[in-house]
Amino acid sequence: MLTRVLKMGLKKPEKAKLQEAAMILKNGGLVAFPTETVYGLGANALNPKAVKKIFQAKGRPADNPLIIHIASMKELKPLVTHIPSSARKLMEKFWPGPLTLLFKKSAIVPKIATGGLSTVAVRMPAHKVACALIKAAKMPIAAPSANLSGTPSPTDASHVLHDFDGKIDMILDGGKTHIGLESTVIDMMTSPPTILRPGKISRGQIEKVIGGIAMHTHTKLQPDEIVKVKSPGMKYRHYAPKAKVILVDGSKSEKKKKINALITHYKKQGKKVAVMTLDKNHGYSADAVKYMGATHASIARRLFSTLRDLDHRSIDIILIETVPEKGLGAAIMNRLRRAAEE
Ligand code: TXA
Ligand code: MG
């Protein structure tokens, strides 16, 4: 299969290109597209055969459900049985935007899209190309992040092409994504609601709108615990580069000491070592050193592309400085911990 890449105008996505992409979706094919978080790998959410292709292309376990993307509020109702009032408040405040909400699914949502669950995750992206595509296709679009299962999410069309060249019909290229980490996922059916995956919309922002909520803390699960997992995506290896990831915490000077010791240790073993640092004037003598940025926003934007980049350089060990876990920092640390899991 030839994977076509179409460059999209961001202010005014070209109608003819959107029509081509919409036709592919109508015919049950796969189109990757940019959102404000990461690129998604889209299919007609209401066509089980099309949705199955997403799982096959990604190598995604069948019990890991997908997020369904919509472009207007009226598209939500047919997908769900009930909209709680707290969900309404969150949608009013944060949609379109990087917030995914869980609802009880209606009969029209195929089970394959929800990994066999009776719930469905829905979000309205805030990206011109994503919205225009959903509108042109006139259908809800099921889309996980457009990466091979387990690898870092794609924040640029080139990442999608790297993972899926020859395996999907089309990529809409909207350049680099703005946020760089996936949406916040929140289960609205628990009392209080529970954050299943932290993201750009922070716990504090959500609590300002609907009051106290719970945070699902991911810890490494034992096989016999897997049945109890709330969000099936949590149990699989995630965001992982090929290199071994080691997180380094402590004060600035403690981190420096630890990192220098680890560089020496692994170099002695003949390993290629990289460092992802918060210190612009680091002075580390590793094979690659990447400055992560001065703000949480810029760290988030670069995180996945840096991991991918280091993989292309055949790095064996990546030492990464931890960030304070406030606001977006919680989402960054969530991804880093998952990337560091064996
Ligand atoms: O920002 C995003 O959310 C991106 C863009 C493309 O929209 N999408 C994304 O999808 O990150 P994905 O499939 O990579 O992650 C979806 C997460 C998974 O952890 C999955 O287990 C969880 O949401 N999820 C989806 N439906 C669920 C459900 N019904 N119940 C519990 N968790 C669900
Ligand atoms: Mg993903």
Give 309-331 pLDDT, tens digit per residue. 999 999 999 999 999 999 999 99
Amino acid at 178: H
Task: Evaluate: CB of 334 within 6 angstroms of ligand 1.
Answer: no
Q: Which two tokens stand for residue 204?
A: 């504090």
**Which residue(s) pair with 195 in the sheet?**
186, 215
Among protein residues, the one whose CA lies closest to atom 6 of ligand 1:
40
Each residue's pLDDT tens digit, 173-229: 999 999 999 999 999 999 999 999 999 999 999 999 999 999 887 544 444 444 445
* DSSP string over 5-59: EEE--SSS--HHHHHHHHHHHHTT--EEE--SSS-EEEEETT-HHHHHHHHHHHT
Q: What is the 3-state secondary structure (H, E, C) of 206-250?
A: HHHHHCCCEECCCCCCCHHHHHHCCCHHHHCCCCCCCCEEEEECC
Ligand 1 mean position to 297 CA, how many Å? Answer: 21
102 Cβ closer than 6 Å to some ligand 1 atom: yes
pLDDT, mean of residues 226-245: 69
Query: Which 8-state DSSP code applies to residue 105?
Result: B
Residue carrying the six token digits 């609601």:
193
User: What's the burial of 125, exposed, middle or buried (CB within 10 Å: 0-12/13-18/19+)?
Assistant: buried
Q: Which residues pair with 258 in a beta bridge?
A: none
Ligand 1 pocket, residue 65 CB under 6 Å: yes
Among 116-125, 228-237, 307-316, the least confident range: 228-237
- Find the DSSP H helices in the chain: 15-26, 48-58, 85-94, 128-137, 157-164, 203-210, 252-268, 296-312, 328-340
For residue 59, what are the contacts with CB-CB under 8 A and spacing of at least 6? Answer: 148, 149, 150
Whether residue 183 has its Cβ less than 6 Å from ligand 1: yes
How is residue 153 annotated by DSSP? P
If you take atom 32 of ligand 1, which residue's CA is the nearest one?
Answer: 231
pTM, full prediction = 0.95
Average pLDDT, the chain: 94
pLDDT digits (tens, 9 = 90+) for 246-301: 999 999 999 999 999 999 999 999 999 999 999 998 899 999 999 999 999 999 99
